[in-house]
Structure 1
Amino acid sequence: MLDDFMTRATLAGIGVALAAAPLGSFVVWRRMAYFGDATAHAAILGVALSLALEISIFPGAVAVALLMALTVTLLSGRGYAMDTLLGVLAHSALAFGLVAVSFLSGIRIDLMAYLFGDILAVSRGDLAVIWGGAALVVALIGWRWSALLTATLNEELAYASGIDPKREQLVLTLALAITVAVAIKVVGVLLIAAMLIIPAAAARPLSRTPEGMVVIASGIGAASAVIGLRAAYVLDTPAGPSIVCVAAASFAGTSVLRVVRAGMAGGRT
């Protein structure tokens, strides 16, 4: 079954969706969209280092993405506005990564595949990495679920409950680095943040509990992968961007539903 490239691509898309959904929910709740973007942009430098050292892309991307996330965490609140800091680091990391790639001689590099993904070229080995990384992210967030929710809701409440919010931030940082690394092959570094944020944002109007939002976001992300791949196959469009477009359409649909519900509730009162 895995000999068919569309089957492998579909499984890869679903794997990334399952990893991105719980993490993306926390990104939305904590308003960390730019944080995720900066971490994703840094991954291209990890790709360059991995190719230069002739090792797998995954450990290099995880290491650099984690380093970027930790750098942002350490520098925040030290005289830098967060949006300015993230803007500087995100674009600087992407630029340094692209320059580093240009210095690699004797290595054939499809730069567009790393920037926008190449899900149709996913191999069995890539599938193992994607699903292994997704399982690790889900297990990590599941293990710290209650503490993460408390720290997200209120830091003072977290301290009162014996929870260190900075430690929970590091858990999210590690999960984000792993998700970025497994998603590079599917949607590329420029669209990873979209797969983190859009399904979670689309799920928000449909959910009443945090757990419900994660489950719905997982469903929206997986459906976006399947439908986006089918649309790309039929319409001959880029697969990664097509997946994100379907996710964006789902966000538009749930946003309209929320407005309609609000109007109906206002009409009753």
Structure 2
Amino acid sequence: MSFLDDFLVRAALAGLGLALAAAPLGCFVVWRRMSYFGDATAHASILGVALALGFDVSVFAGVLTTALIMATTVSTLAGRGYAMDTLLGVLAHSALALGLVAVSFLDGIRIDLMSYLFGDILAVSRIDLLLIWGGGLSVLGLLCWRWSALLTTTLNPDLAYAAGLNPKREQLVLTLTLAVVVAVAIKVVGVLLIAAMLIVPAATARNFANTPERMAIAAALTGSFAVLSGLHVSFVTDSPTGPTIVSIAACLFVVASAVGAGLRKTR
């Protein structure tokens, strides 16, 4: 009997694969103040689910395609006379509404909408694990490859231009990477909680890390701890797993913020 036959082992591996990719990427989301972008891309994934089921294709492929379209649309329209928060609000809620309407027209197809909204990590299969870790490692590889360029364009676009970098290109790389994470995460924590797994571990790590690299590592460790702790608490208390993981991450943020504030007062 393989250890992957245990659904809790598969759930833990899926959560760790997501945390290791989402948390470092979430650092850039925090630094660039792109939390709304994460929501917009995640909400668009419901439309991807509906289209995938309607055309009988892979849900992962449908979500990834829709998320990529949303990412490129936002990157294209940004800076063309639209306020970013307004643009993201319109696109996010429009995509979510269209997705929910499209789901209602799927006659003869049974769909557990709650599992896509809040995740169903305990139902992760071996194929899901392959997709999650494949997508997660691809994201990590891309972040490592473009780390210096992404960091430079995040800190100072003018300095990036002087160094021969194109901030818009790096922004597109970041948004496309975010789309991949959304497609990977939908099975684990669901549409409504993806942004939380991007932002909360990174915001928690920010209280202690004094370099970007340390913040990314601390965010990944925080996200991993939240996943494993959330799985344990969910199993013991029979609470919904995805929301429990995010709740643990939120508690870590509160504790880290309090400890960080205390340390700053003593300096």
User: What's the TM-score once normalised by structure 2's chain length?
Assistant: 0.98
Shift in Å, 1:79: 2.1
Counterpart pick for 1:264 among 257, 263, 266 = 266
Q: Does residue 46 of the first structure (1) align with residue 48 of the second (2)? A: yes
Who is 1:58 aligned against? 60
Cα distance in 1 for partners of 2:82, 2:213 equals: 34
* One of 97, 103, 124 as aligned partner of 2:99: 97
In the TM superposition, what are the counterparts of 1:10-89 in structure 2 within 5 Å? 10-89=12-91
Percent identity at matched positions?
66
Gap runs ≥5 in structure 2: none
Find the counterpart in structure 1 of residue 179 from structure 2. 177
Equivalent residue for 1:222, pick from 219, 224, 227? 224
Check the 8 A contact 2:44/2:99 in 1, yes or no: yes
Partners of 1:77 and 1:145 lie apart in 2 by 24
User: What letter corresponds to residue 153 of structure 1 in structure 2?
Assistant: L
Q: Secondary structure of the residue that 1:179 maps to in structure 2? A: helix
Distance 1:177 1:57 in 2: 14
Deviation at 1:54, TM superposition (A): 1.2
Higher mean C-alpha displacement, 211-220 vs 73-82: 73-82
How far did residue 191 of structure 1 move? 0.4
Aligned residues between the structures: 265
Q: Distance in 2 between matches of 1:179 and 1:205?
A: 24
Q: Name the CA distance, whole Å, in 1 between partners of 2:265 and 2:145.
A: 39
Aligned to 1:135, which of 121, 134, 137? 137
Distance 1:32 1:195 in 2: 14
- Where 1:205 maps in the other structure, the secondary structure is coil
Task: Give the AA of the match of 1:192.
Answer: I
- After the TM superposition, which of the residue ranges 79-88 and 210-219 deviates more from structure 2? 79-88
Q: CA deviation at 1:56?
A: 1.2
Q: In structure 2, what residue type is equivalent to 1:41? A: H
Structure 1: distance between partners of 2:81 and 2:180: 29
User: Which of these residues, 4, 10, 13, is aligned with residue 6 of structure 2?
Assistant: 4
Q: State how far apart, in whole Å, the 1-side matches of 2:78 and 2:217 are.
A: 31
> C-alpha offsets along residues 9-48 of structure 1, whole Å, 9 cap, x if unaligned?
0100000001101110000000000011101100111111
3-state SS of 1:109 partner: coil
Query: What is the match of residue 123 of structure 2?
Result: 121
Q: Distance in 1 between matches of 2:242 and 2:41?
A: 19
**Residue 207 (structure 1) shift:** 0.6
Whether 1:234 aligns to 2:229 is no
Q: Distance in 1 between matches of 2:4 and 2:190?
A: 22
Structure 1 length normalisation: TM-score? 0.97
Instruction: Return the letter of the residue paired with 1:109.
Output: I
Give 1:254's match in structure 2, choosing from 253, 256, 259: 256
Superposition map of 1:181-220 within 5 A: 181-220=183-222
Which residue of 159, 167, 171 corresponds with 2:169?
167
Distance 2:9 2:136 in 1: 18
| 3-state secondary structure, aligned to 1:2 | helix
Classify the secondary structure of the residue corresponding to 1:187: coil
The one-letter code sitting in structure 1 at the alignment partner of 2:209 is S
Contact 2:72–2:176 under 8 Å retained in 1? no
Aligned-residue CA RMSD (Å): 0.7
Q: Which runs of 5+ in 1 are unaligned?
A: none
Map of 1:154 onto structure 2: 156
Separation in 2 of the partners of 1:215 and 1:264? 25
